[in-house]
Amino acid sequence: MTIKKLSIIIPAYNEGNTIHLILDKIKYVNLTNDIQKEIIIVNDCSKDNTEFAITAYQHANPELNIQYFKHEVNKGKGAALHTGISKATGEYLIIQDADLEYDPAEYNDLLKPVITGFADVVYGSRFMGSNPHRILFFWHTIGNRWLTFASNMFSNLNLTDMETCYKLFNTKIIQGIKLTERRFGFEPEVTIKISRIPRIRIYEVGISYYGRTYEEGKKIGWKDGVRAIFCILKYGLFKAR
């Protein structure tokens, strides 16, 4: 399909230190086929200077199409994505965390299977390909692989990285799914629900990963891993759609 606009959904909670840097990276990436960018930022009730940083950036870059939304209470990454997804007007949308763990220069790699007409959904895998990956957290990697394995068992997909942030969706398709997980349970819920859509075409491409430490602002914790197992069982076993 011809794609004219990509919506970039950014959930942001206490990301005042990096939000302008990720916006700069997004600004400087030239999408292939003259695809336009729509940037949708959802401030999930940050307690730091995230809002100030966003408004300052908007004023300094009026030519960028930035839509700004905020939550009155902190609800979690999933809830921020629900808000962002509902506002998207591009034919495709991609999820972009507000930290610097993923590189917007790779949007074109994710778009490729869409532009060539093969994919409805593209996941960027941190466990595939020869791009740079920061070496960190052995047990997170084991956890990620195990969660991907469990999710694959229920979805009958052969993904290598279910928990990746870089997920690109046909906007109409993702807007047509009812999503309920408000925190990091978003990833298994969306993966299992997407897998159940008849004739859906899912692709994966290798991406880089510039992982950050907790000192550098990472928020996901072991409880989110437990929740992910629960979600895989809940959506994999018990929920039809």
Choose the binding region for Mg ion from 49-57, 73-81, 90-98, 136-144 (rule: CB under 5 A): 90-98
Place of tokens 């990697």: 141
Find the residue with minimal CB distance to ligand UDP. 219
Among 39, 54, 99, 152, binds ligand UDP (CB under 6 A): 99
SS3 track for 87-138: HCCCCEEEECCCCCCCCHHHHHHHHHHHHCCCCCEEEEECCCCCCCECCCCH
- Per CB under 6 A, the segment of 84-92, 98-106, 119-127, 191-199 that binds ligand UDP is 98-106
**Quick check: helix, strand or coil at residue 140?**
helix
Among 38, 97, 109, 204, interactor with ligand UDP by CB under 6 A? 97
- Least Å distance, CB 115 to Mg ion, is 27
Choose one: 54-62, 141-149, 169-177, 218-226; the region binding ligand UDP (CB under 6 A).
218-226
Q: Which residues contact 64 (CB under 8 A, 6 or more apart)?
A: 23, 27, 37, 39, 58
φ, ψ (nearest 5 deg) of residue 219 = -115, -25
Min dist. Cβ of residue 90 to ligand UDP (A): 19
Is residue 98 involved in binding ligand UDP (CB under 6 A)?
yes
Residue 101 within binding range of Mg ion, rule CB under 5 A: yes
Closest by CA position to 101, among listed 225, 214, 181:
214
Under the criterion CB under 6 A, does residue 15 sit at the interface with ligand UDP? yes
Distance CA 100, CA 69 (A): 21
Q: Smallest distance from the beta carbon of 224 to ligand UDP, in angstroms?
A: 8
